[in-house]
Every structure is written in structure tokens, then in C-alpha cells.
Amino acid sequence: MASLTGPRGLINRLPIVHQLRQSVGLQRGMLIAGLVITGLFVLTAILAPLLAPYGYSTLRDEDGVFGAQQPPGGKHLLGTTVGGYDVLSRVIWGTQTALIVIIVAVVLSIFLGVFLGLVSGYIGGWVDRVLVVIADGVYAFPSLLLAIVAAIAISGGQSSFWGGIMAAAISITVVFIPQYFRVIRAETVRIKSEAYVESAMVIGSSAPRIMTQHVLRNATRTLPLIFTLNSSEAVLTLAGLGFLGFGIEPTAAAEWGYDLNKSLSDVTSGIWWTSLFPGLAIVLAVLGITLVGESLNDLADPRLRTRRRADVAPAPTAAASVVPGGSLTDAVDLDSLEARS
């Protein structure tokens, strides 16, 4: 008990648990609200087969076809879409698609981005300079446009379930890599000049060992923060791609952006249920993850942190800022990371 839950125990040093204990008042409320919404989102995704009344591509049951644009009520709690699908079922199944895309996109971009950032920052020289210019170029570009181009390249614009998910996830990855790259590179450059890295060089440790053992371990403290920001952005990019017609076909999976695109013409004729519910699902999913990220950001930024709980000792992970150095610019950088949707 003491070793696991004490002030410096293992559980308390886990990223989110630590911040939860550290927070008070409004910040704690925001963090908890975010965690609850995110938890519900994940649960819905896992339990989708049990929760959804119908399949995502079900058009009929034993009583015959559902019919298109049926208003909410009766057999269809949230009505049916213009294509004759059950709205509630598609909203619930959509969480699954979104969660898979988040996981694939974030895992891919963390691995590639961290690797490139580490190597670039550690080696320096012209490799570093070239990579920085490339990353900055990609970073400044509208991410949705880049995702469109990547989606065309990967799937040719039309997709099956895994094809569509991979296309969306990889397009999002292309956009995210520069963000991880920038952060990890900046940290690496800073850590490289620390005395313990120099001592490791002196005693003859190999470059890969120094990079993984000494630099990487100390450079990852900001990752949970970017992780949440990117997860929420992944949901938005997926929906944006779907809205522009790069979504996953309705027979392959449920995708909120696709449903919103199909509901465009419904809106003009006053049919509100086909757009409202998938849209709210996007907002809630992004809201939950962003609330978590936002709270982590505030708790990590000494200028924004309100008070600490007196009984919790500050841990080193608390003092994290995305860009070390300029105290003014790091907030800007965080906001701009988040600003890219």
C-alpha cells in the first residue's frame, strides 16, 4: 500500500493520476469532467456491439426497411438518416471508428516523431537543419489539406473499413509528426548539454544508448500533453475528411463526418436529427479529451497553475513546458499546436 499509493508511490507518478492529486477547485473539476467524458467515449467504443440497437449498416429488421429520414421516436430513438440507417446506432458505432483512428494515428506519429526528433536533435548538423525546415514547412501548412492529399495517395479516395481507417490515421500521422518532432528535438537539444549526458559520453556510452537511456527518458515529460491535443485533433481531422467525402463508406463502418456530409441537404428542409447527433458526438469526444489536455497544460505551466494541494509534494513531471526557454513563447506554441484543426 505504502509503496503504491504514498505521495511518491508508483501510482502517483503516473501522468494523469499525479496531476489529478495535484489539482484543486476549478482545475480539478475540469480535469475530472474531461476524464469522465473520455472514459465514457472509450467505454462506448468498446461496448458498441452491446449498446447499439442495430448494426451501423443495418437498413431493415424483421418488420421491413427502416425508411429514410424518420423522425426520432418509436423504434428509432434518434430517427433515421437520409440513407435509411438508424442514427443512434451510427453515432454509437462511430465512437469505435474514432477511437481506432486516434490510437493508430497517435501511436504511429509518436514513434516516428519521437525517433526523428531524438536523432535530429542529438546528431545536429545539416541533417538537423534539413529536418527542421521540412518539419516547419509541413507544420505551417493547413493540416486538413495535407490530410486530403495523403488520403488520396493512400486510398485513392474510396475505402473499405481498414483501408479507410488506415488512410485517415496515416493522413493524420503525416500532419502530427512535425509536432512531436519539434517538441522532442527542442528537449533533446537542451538535454544534450546537461552534465550527465557529457559524463555518459566521456565514459564511452554509445550514441544509441545515450539517446534512449539518458535523453529520451528526460525528453518525454511533455508527451502526455501533446498526446491529448493530438487525439482530439485526430477526431476533428477524421470528421473533416469524412465531411469532404473521404470518409469510410457507410457499409464498411460508421463515421460521423460522413453522416454530417449526408445531412447537409436535410438541414435546409428542417430535418435536424441527422446532423445534430453525430455533430454532438464529435463535440463531446473532442471536448472530453481537450479538457484533460487543457488541465494538464495548466497544471504544468507555473503561470497558470492556481494552487497546489498542500499535502502533495511537487514531482519533476509537473514542471513541463512544450518549448523550453522563452516563457512567453511556450504558451503560444501550445496554443498553436492546438490551433491546428
Binding footprint of other proteins on the chain (CB under 8 A): 25-26, 30, 133-134, 136-138, 140-146, 148-150, 152-153, 156-157, 232, 236, 239-240, 243-246, 257, 260, 263-264, 267-270, 272, 275-276, 279, 282-283, 286-287, 290-291, 294, 303-304, 306, 327-329, 331-332, 335-336, 338-341
Please, which residue, 73 or 245, has the CB nearer to other proteins? Answer: 245
Which residues make Cβ contacts (< 8 Å) with residue 259, sequence separation at least 6?
A: 81, 87, 90, 94, 242, 250, 274, 275, 278
How many other C-beta atoms lie within 10 A of the C-beta of residue 332?
13
| Among candidate residues 287, 156, 175, 308, the one with its CA nearest the CA of residue 238 | 175
| Shortest Å distance, C-beta 107 to other proteins | 21
| Shortest Å distance, C-beta 269 to other proteins | 8
| Shortest Å distance, C-beta 211 to other proteins | 26
Residue 213 in grid coordinates = 537511456
Residue reference for cell 435546409: 268
Q: What angle, 0 to 180 degrees and rounded to 10, lies between the N-to-C axes of helices 273-300 and 87-123?
A: 30
| Shortest Å distance, C-beta 132 to other proteins | 11
Please, which residue, 128 or 218, has the CB nearer to other proteins? Answer: 128
| Among candidate residues 321, 324, 332, 325, the one with its CA nearest the CA of residue 296 | 321
Please, which residue, 180 or 243, has the CB nearer to other proteins? Answer: 243
| Shortest Å distance, C-beta 39 to other proteins | 17
Please, which residue, 55 or 128, has the CB nearer to other proteins? Answer: 128
Please, which residue, 215 or 260, has the CB nearer to other proteins? Answer: 260
Please, which residue, 184 or 241, has the CB nearer to other proteins? Answer: 241
Given a contact cutoff of 8 angstroms between Cβ atoms, the answer to whether 257 and 245 are in contact is no
Q: Please tell me the distance from the alpha carbon of residue 120 to that of residue 187, in angstroms, as a whole number.
A: 11
Q: Contacts from 24-32 at CB under 8 Å and sequence distance 24+?
A: 24/306, 24/307, 24/308, 24/309, 25/306, 25/307, 26/306, 27/295, 27/298, 27/299, 27/305, 27/306, 30/291, 30/294, 30/295, 31/291, 31/292, 31/295, 31/296, 31/299
Please, which residue, 270 or 316, has the CB nearer to other proteins? Answer: 270
Please, which residue, 10 or 130, has the CB nearer to other proteins? Answer: 130
| Shortest Å distance, C-beta 294 to other proteins | 6
DSSP 63: T
| Shortest Å distance, C-beta 249 to other proteins | 15
| Shortest Å distance, C-beta 199 to other proteins | 31
Given a contact cutoff of 8 angstroms between Cβ atoms, the answer to whether 110 and 178 are in contact is no
Q: Please tell me the distance from the alpha carbon of residue 116 to that of residue 122, in angstroms, as a whole number.
A: 10
